[in-house]
Amino acid sequence: MKLKKFFTDKILLKRILFLVVGLAAFRLITATPIANVSTETLHSLLLNNQILNVFNLFSGGGLSNFSVGMLGVIPYITVSIIAQLMTSVFPSVHSLYHEQGEIGRKKIGNYIRIFSVPLAAINAFGILWYFKTQGVLSNISNYDFVITLVTIVAGAVLVMWIGELLTEFGIGNGISLIVFAGIVVNIPTLLGQLVQTFSVAQIPFILLLVVGILVFVLVTVFFNEAFRPIPLTQINNSGIGKSETYLPIKVNVTGVLPLIFSFTVVAFINYASIFAAKSSNAFLQVPAEVVQTFLANSFYYAIPVFIATFMFTFFHAPIVYDTEKVSLNLQKQALFTPGLRPGEDTQKYLDTVLSRITFYAASFLAIVASVPFLFSSSTVGNFLFAIGGAGVLIIVSVVLDIYHKIHSRLSL
């Protein structure tokens, strides 16, 4: 019945078609090169640089192609995260986001778009400068450098625009879909690399890898769908009798943003240390060289990623799930938790529950973010990064989101 309704729902089919066209346009952008580069040097650099692999992963291979869309939606996501963090620091931003409804969120959305452009320019400049010093961009003039930088920024704005169009006319969150497409499109290439380097001695490891990935997918699905039910009671309008229900609080209320944020923060520290190491000031040069030496080791690199992911998850969860607003809405609907007074007592209880489940969420996300960095930069290591860590979490989250939206549409 639902299958028949799926093929007869013209609006749903149009949205799916727009989704496919939008992702195809994104793929075209990430496959369009913008400059002559030393391909061998670039691939060698990506193989030995963990953070560039992250950028390449989320840009759909755009960095390895040195394409127009090499930045993907990373600048937009970074500014979005900063904007959400500002809601807990500045009361005016909090009011704009939480109290002014759709109008306030549209204003914040405009600010995010505006500030994404200078951040994209900073990211582009850092990557181009680094590539120039590493011999990827050889003999590039200052004029060509500026033109390339402007082209990359324009590509980032174009990808951001496609993501917002997908949100409006497609299915699901467009920005998440762009990241999802960027990861999925790399999988065939990584599988091909595994096949090329295959040997009989690797069979036990590959079987173990397949089993591990399947188990991890199941755990990720469970984690993504898990919630903590809060019992609620509602007194009938007549004052006689009551009905009972529950309030679901997702274990992972933050989604995949903590992973992307931690990658961005560590990337910023990494590239800031590269700039500082070139300084003639010993006060900057010495600590920068220490940071570079520390981050050059994959095991040590995983440590700041783990810490940043864990801390940001705790910091971000109360912003995403506003317990004060939830308790107020429950009070307005005459809903209360048995044994607790509506209002402040309920809010404190929700804060306690949120803190406890966020600990498990933060631990899980931190492990997912950091474990792939423990593997050496190799074909198998890159495959594990795309398939076994943050990639699986993002893929599962997006697929489940699309499934729920289509299922809700067909259930009308």
What pLDDT, in 10s, does the model give residues 260-294?
Answer: 788 778 877 877 787 777 777 777 777 877 887 77
Question: What pLDDT, on the 0 to 100 scale, is given for residue 388?
Answer: 53
Give the helix/strand (H/E) hosting 249. Answer: strand 242-250
Phi, psi (rounded to 5 degrees) for 308: -65, -40
**With bands split at pLDDT 50, 70 and 90, how would you rate the model's confidence at 220?**
confident
Phi, psi (rounded to 5 degrees) for 228: -105, 110
What pLDDT, in 10s, does the model give residues 193-210?
Answer: 667 776 777 777 778 777
Considering the domain boundaries, does residue 38 fall inside one?
yes
Considering the domain boundaries, does residue 128 fall inside one?
yes
Q: 229 or 298: whose pLDDT is higher?
A: 229
What pLDDT, in 10s, does the model give residues 166-187?
Answer: 988 988 888 888 888 888 877 7
Of 63-72, 91-100, 232-241, 374-383, give the lowest mean pLDDT range.
Answer: 374-383
Contacts of 136 (CB under 8 A, 6+ apart): 37, 38, 41, 42, 45, 66
Of 76-90, 167-181, 232-246, 395-409, give the lowest mean pLDDT range.
Answer: 232-246
**With bands split at pLDDT 50, 70 and 90, how would you rate the model's confidence at 356?**
very high
Considering the domain boundaries, does residue 318 fall inside one?
no
Locate 288 and state its tokens: 């920068």
Contacts of 371 (CB under 8 A, 6+ apart): 302, 388, 389
Secondary structure of 163-210 in the HEC alphabet? HHHHHHHCCCCHHHHHHHHHHHCCHHHHHHHHHHCCCHHHHHHHHHHH
Q: 91 or 304: whose pLDDT is higher?
A: 304
Q: What percent of the chain has pLDDT over 70?
A: 89
* Residue 305: closest CA among 218, 385, 222: 385
Question: What pLDDT, on the 0 to 100 scale, is given for residue 387?
Answer: 55
Radius of gyration in angstroms for the set of CA atoms belonging to the chain, rounded to a whole number:
23
Considering the domain boundaries, does residue 296 fall inside one?
no
Amino acid code (one letter) for 274:
I
- Domain of 143, in residue numbers: 1-185
**With bands split at pLDDT 50, 70 and 90, how would you rate the model's confidence at 236?**
low
Q: How does the average pLDDT of the chain come out, rounded? A: 81
Question: What pLDDT, on the 0 to 100 scale, is given for residue 383?
Answer: 55
Residues 62, 69 contacting (CB under 8 angstroms): yes
Locate 31 and state its tokens: 């496959």
Locate 296 and state its tokens: 């050059």
The number of CA neighbours under 13 Å toward the Cβ of 44 is 9
Question: What pLDDT, on the 0 to 100 scale, is given for residue 46?
Answer: 75
What pLDDT, in 10s, does the model give residues 250-269?
Answer: 998 888 888 878 877 887 78
pLDDT at residue 379 greater than cutoff 60: no
Residues 128, 142 contacting (CB under 8 angstroms): no
Q: Which residues of 119-143 are buried (b: 16+ CB within 10 A; e: fewer)?
A: bbbebbebbbbbbeeeebbeebeee
DSSP state of 256: T
Locate 181 and state its tokens: 């497409």
CATH number for the domain that contains residue 90: 1.10.3370.10
pLDDT at residue 386 greater than cutoff 60: no
What pLDDT, in 10s, does the model give residues 14-67?
Answer: 999 999 999 999 989 988 888 777 777 787 777 766 667 777 777 767 888 888
pLDDT at residue 382 greater than cutoff 60: no
Considering the domain boundaries, does residue 194 fall inside one?
no
Considering the domain boundaries, does residue 17 fall inside one?
yes
Amino acid code (one letter) for 31:
A
386/143 Cα distance (integer angstroms): 36
Domains: count for the chain:
1
Question: What pLDDT, on the 0 to 100 scale, is given for residue 318?
Answer: 86
Residues 273, 292 contacting (CB under 8 angstroms): yes
258/261 Cα distance (integer angstroms): 5
Question: What pLDDT, on the 0 to 100 scale, is given for residue 152?
Answer: 93
Give the helix/strand (H/E) hosting 86. Answer: helix 74-86
The model's pTM = 0.82
Considering the domain boundaries, does residue 364 fall inside one?
no
Q: How much is the average pLDDT of 306-335?
A: 86
Contacts of 315 (CB under 8 A, 6+ apart): 85, 88
Residues 228, 323 contacting (CB under 8 angstroms): no
Give the helix/strand (H/E) hosting 27. Answer: helix 10-30
371/384 Cα distance (integer angstroms): 9
Question: What pLDDT, on the 0 to 100 scale, is given for residue 375?
Answer: 61
163/156 Cα distance (integer angstroms): 11
Of 91-100, 139-148, 330-339, give the lowest mean pLDDT range.
Answer: 91-100
Considering the domain boundaries, does residue 52 fall inside one?
yes
Question: What pLDDT, on the 0 to 100 scale, is given for residue 20?
Answer: 92
Question: What pLDDT, on the 0 to 100 scale, is given for residue 399?
Answer: 86
Q: What percent of the chain has pLDDT over 90?
A: 13
| Opening angle at CA 78, ends 72 and 83, nearest 5 | 140
58/369 Cα distance (integer angstroms): 14
Strand order in the sheet with 242-250: 242-250, 227-235, 335-336
List, in sequence order, the alpha helices (H) in 243-332. 257-277, 282-296, 298-320, 323-332
